[in-house]
Amino acid sequence: MSRRPAQRTATRRGAAPKKRKPNSRRPKRPGLLDQAVAALPFSEATLQRIATWGIVGTVGAIALGIGVWMGVPAMAGVALANVVGEAGLKVDEVQIDGLKRMDRMTVYGAALDQDSRAMPLVDLALVRERLLKFPWVEDARVSRRLPNTLRIFIVERVPGAIWQNRGQLMLVDPNGVPLEPVSRDAMPDLPLVIGDGANAQEPARRALMEAAPALKPLVKAATWIGNRRWDLTFDTGERLQLPEGEAEAAEALRKFATLDGEQRLLGKGSIRFDMRVPGNMVVQRPSAPTVATAPTSIVTGE
């Protein structure tokens, strides 16, 4: 009777069986690209949409370029751009920033009056040109934000004075650009300039008033006379007639401010102070019922 060979044991006697290492893998550290994507301020889905529209736009641009190179008529290029627009690259939203006084619907009208709203066909320069024609718009920036938004940033003019001419009141900016009419009941607290062409002299008036800052809050109105010189009317009712020339007018105003500080000229019931002759000031005072008005001449010095 044959014996079966003794079965060999896989483990030695007295030796502890080896433990199997758990079948687990260490988490893989994200690469630099993954870290960069995670740091972006929008979701992965948004990133995919951006990439998709980027591909669509690139393909459309390449196709349009090939068409031009091969001599395809301009109408075909327009048709191709419209196809891109139908695919989603068209203006569905207009984002406007910077508006404070101007009507928002006016800006919408200037932006959306296009032959096509396909993004490649929107004429940004034309939109900006239209906006700059409105009095309130000092500057404008127009740009596309894919896939469907037109962004417009408006820099508005700031009212600097009220211009009165031939019975009409008009807001003007510091450069004298007319902005819009204003009613007498709704006049803002701004300097009043009076006379034909006085708005164009607004920068000169501002520079003149800097010659005598102490008098500046007392001036009620500045009248541009004969397109040559200024008359200043104070809130006390007196009028100061200044000479021609910017330098001469500024010097006369400084001398008047000095005299007013020393002698308190304003508020004493005078009618006018005539300083049109350099170095001399004529003061006209109201006359009594039976006495004619007698101007008084004061030498102000050179």
Q: What is the pLDDT of residue 68?
A: 45
- Listed by start position, the domains of the chain span 90-156, 161-299
Residues with Cβ within 8 Å of 275's Cβ and at least 6 positions away in sequence, in order, are 240, 241, 242, 243, 252, 255, 256, 281, 300
Q: Which two tokens stand for residue 122?
A: 């929107």
291 or 25, higher pLDDT: 25
Q: Is 269 left (phi over 0), alpha (psi -120 to 50) or beta?
A: left
**Structure confidence by residue, pLDDT tens digits, 66-84:** 554 554 444 444 444 444 4
**Can you list the alpha helix ranges (DSSP code H) found in the chain?**
32-39, 44-69, 74-86, 104-112, 124-131, 202-209, 246-263
Whether 87 has a pLDDT exceeding 90, the answer reads: no
Distance between CA atoms of residues 202 and 222, nearest Å: 10
Burial of 111 (0-12, 13-18, 19+ CB in 10 A): buried
Q: What is the pLDDT of residue 97?
A: 96
Q: What is the pLDDT of residue 83?
A: 47
Whether 1 has a pLDDT exceeding 60, the answer reads: no
Burial of 150 (0-12, 13-18, 19+ CB in 10 A): buried
Q: What is the pLDDT of residue 194?
A: 98
104 or 70, higher pLDDT: 104
Q: What is the pLDDT of residue 9?
A: 47
Q: Which two tokens stand for residue 186?
A: 């709704």
Instruction: Identify residue 58 by its one-letter amino acid code.
Output: T
CATH architecture label of 90-156 = Roll (3.10)
Band of pLDDT at residue 110, cut at 50, 70 and 90: very high
**Structure confidence by residue, pLDDT tens digits, 250-276:** 999 999 999 999 999 999 989 999 999
Distance between CA atoms of residues 119 and 126, nearest Å: 14
**Structure confidence by residue, pLDDT tens digits, 39-58:** 555 555 555 555 555 555 55
Which is nearest to 158 in space by CA: 98, 107, 72? 98
Sheet of strand 93-97: strand arrangement:
93-97, 149-156, 137-145
Question: Does residue 30 have a cis bond before it (omega within 30 degrees)?
Answer: no
- Give the global pTM: 0.67
CATH class of 161-299: alpha beta
Mean pLDDT of 131-159: 94
